[in-house]
Structure 1
Amino acid sequence: MRASLIQLAVEASETAEQRRSRAAALVLDRAGDDLVMLPELWPTGAWDYDAWTEGAEGLDGPTAAAMSAAARAAGVWVHAGSVIERDGDGTLYNTALVFDREGELRGHYRKIHRYGFDTGEAVFLGAGQEIVTVPTDFGTLGLAICYDLRFPEIFRALIDAGADIVAVPAAWPAERLEHLRLFARTRAVEEQVFLLACVATGEHGGMRQAGHSMIVDPWGDVLAGAGDGEQTLTGDFDMRDVEAHRTRLPVLRDRVLSIAAPRTR
């Protein structure tokens, strides 16, 4: 399969609508791919908390509409990164959206692990409660977001739910780039999956974002990696390698301990 990760620059000088237009055009450029992916919270920025309430939207909001139309026009699956979602009761969530080749919303995931300790997501956003996988024509896609990478139990739960490829949109701080690289490769090796980390670049809310998006195979090798500027990273890989790696080194078969996981859907 072929996946493209759009390492979008999120800058305060650009409006959300301008970014939506740019993102849609970049998706259209990838017609012929299987999956096109965007970073975490690219419409509002992940570090400008004051913009979240005004920029929040529903699952049928302007970002969903733009990405649905782009997916349909390009004939690709689109992982639209994540948006600030406003639920019917007014709660805000950091929510990932996945559209199929016809532009239908096939899955959404509310971020379980909220970053910020006593600030940011931990204060302003609700926590997701469910593990989410999405069946596609190239495999079962597991969904996680940024800070989730620090919590291996969610990835174990995703493979228990059938995931053989995991997509992780992120707005990772540049000062912790080496942690990103470490966790992305480790999670791919632990779960013997392909892991796609699409990371925002630019500076927003006073935070320099890391970029360096990557596609990691089940052996932990980085098949394709980006730099720190805006770019589209494309990689070709064979999903049959997941089963090949799990057969070659059947560590998952030897699991002894199990964990309690959130609900799965």
Structure 2
Amino acid sequence: MRASLIQIAVDPDEPVNSRRQRVASLVREQRERHGAELVVLPELWPTGAFAYESFVTEAEPLEGPTYEAMSKAAAEAGVWLHAGSIVERDPEGPLYNTSLVFAPDGELVRTYRKIHRFGFDKGEAVMMGAGGELVTVAAGGLTFGLGTCYDLRFPELFRGLVDAGATAFVVPAGWPARRREHWTLLARARAVENQAYVLACGTAGTHADVEQAGHSIVVDPWGEVLAEAGAAEEVLTVDLDPAKVAATREQFPALKDRRLR
């Protein structure tokens, strides 16, 4: 399966609707130019992950403007699309940091509400509700487990996804530049310990004066980095081989030796 990660630059001076249309064009390009079957976008790219003051005003229903633009883009490109995440306004509850996954016909097949909210006693941690469901999506011979940004620091989530059948993880993020080394380290650690692909797609630019790390990364089941972006807007395209997961787990069957669950 060929996957493209689009490391979007979030510019506060770019209107959100303009960014949606620009990103939709980028999604379509991945099929045309690179033959991508899966496209991945970052966390909260419509608003910016640290633009807390915009969360309430920019929140949208699940089937809102981002859903509409991304569903159309997925269908026109004929790709699986992990459309990153939005600030979801649940009419019966709080805001959520919600990821959207579309099939190649544009149908919304899965959503994932971020379980671990960042901010400690401010920002996302107090403004958004926590998800409570482990989510996987089967596509292209792989089973993708879903996480978002801060989730990357909690290995038990990824173990749970492995138990649910995951052979790869998709992690959209808005990771700050000042902790970039953690981003790379944790992405590789989640790949090595679970013998799974990690597709970690971050943002570029600056959100609410917080410089973003960029450096989206794809890691194979042995922990080798297949591709890594720089700090600016960039696209990574890699080929994922489902057989490599099975081979790694067979040749070095560490997961069979687990004792604590």
TM-score by length of 1: 0.96
Secondary structure of 2:69's aligned partner: helix
- For residue 118 of structure 2, what is the amino acid of its counterpart? Y
Instruction: Provide the C-alpha distance between the structure 1 equivalents of 2:70 and 2:233, rounded to a whole number of angstroms.
Output: 19
Among the aligned pairs, what percent are the same residue? Answer: 58
- Which one of 239, 252, 255 corresponds to residue 252 of structure 1? 255
Aligned to 1:41: 44
Aligned to 1:240: 243
Q: Pick which of 178-187 and 87-96 moved more.
A: 87-96
Secondary structure of 1:30's aligned partner: helix
- Which one of 99, 116, 131 corresponds to residue 96 of structure 1? 99
Secondary structure of 1:67's aligned partner: helix
Alignment of 1:62-211 (within 5 A): 62-211=65-214
Query: What does the per-residue CA deviation read over 1:3-55, in whole Å, with 9 as the maximum and x for residues that have no partner?
Result: 00000001111111111011000000011311101000000111111111111
Q: Pick which of 52-61 and 211-220 moved more.
A: 52-61
Secondary structure of 2:9's aligned partner: coil
Cα offset, 1:255, TM superposition: 0.5
Q: How many pairs were matched up? A: 258
Instruction: Provide the C-alpha distance between the structure 2 equivalents of 1:138 and 1:243, rounded to a whole number of angstroms.
Output: 11
- For residue 102 of structure 1, what is the amino acid of its counterpart? D
Aligned to 1:21: 21
Instruction: Provide the C-alpha distance between the structure 2 equivalents of 1:152 and 1:165, rounded to a whole number of angstroms.
Output: 14
Instruction: Provide the C-alpha distance between the structure 1 equivalents of 2:170 and 2:95, rounded to a whole number of angstroms.
Output: 22
Instruction: Provide the C-alpha distance between the structure 2 equivalents of 1:49 and 1:120, rounded to a whole number of angstroms.
Output: 6
Q: Pick which of 177-186 and 48-57 moved more.
A: 48-57
Instruction: Provide the C-alpha distance between the structure 2 equivalents of 1:126 and 1:254, rounded to a whole number of angstroms.
Output: 36
Aligned to 1:3: 3
Instruction: Provide the C-alpha distance between the structure 2 equivalents of 1:114 and 1:93, rounded to a whole number of angstroms.
Output: 10
Q: Which runs of 5+ in 1 are unaligned?
A: 259-265
Secondary structure of 1:176's aligned partner: helix
- For residue 12 of structure 1, what is the amino acid of its counterpart? P
Alignment of 1:220-235 (within 5 A): 220-235=223-238
Structure 1 consecutive aligned stretches of length 4 or more whose deviation exceeds 6 Å: none
Cα offset, 1:138, TM superposition: 3.0
Secondary structure of 2:187's aligned partner: helix
Instruction: Provide the C-alpha distance between the structure 1 equivalents of 2:86 and 2:247, rounded to a whole number of angstroms.
Output: 35
- For residue 108 of structure 1, what is the amino acid of its counterpart? T
Cα offset, 1:135, TM superposition: 1.9
- For residue 10 of structure 1, what is the amino acid of its counterpart? V
- For residue 62 of structure 1, what is the amino acid of its counterpart? P
Query: What does the per-residue CA deviation read over 1:159-199, in whole Å, with 9 as the maximum and x for residues that have no partner?
Result: 10011111000000001000000000000001111000000
- For residue 70 of structure 1, what is the amino acid of its counterpart? A
TM-score by length of 2: 0.97
Secondary structure of 2:237's aligned partner: strand
Secondary structure of 2:204's aligned partner: coil
Instruction: Provide the C-alpha distance between the structure 1 equivalents of 2:256 and 2:16, rounded to a whole number of angstroms.
Output: 46
CA RMSD of aligned residues (A): 0.8
Query: What does the per-residue CA deviation read over 1:110-148, in whole Å, with 9 as the maximum and x for residues that have no partner?
Result: 000000001111110000011111122332111000000
Secondary structure of 2:50's aligned partner: coil
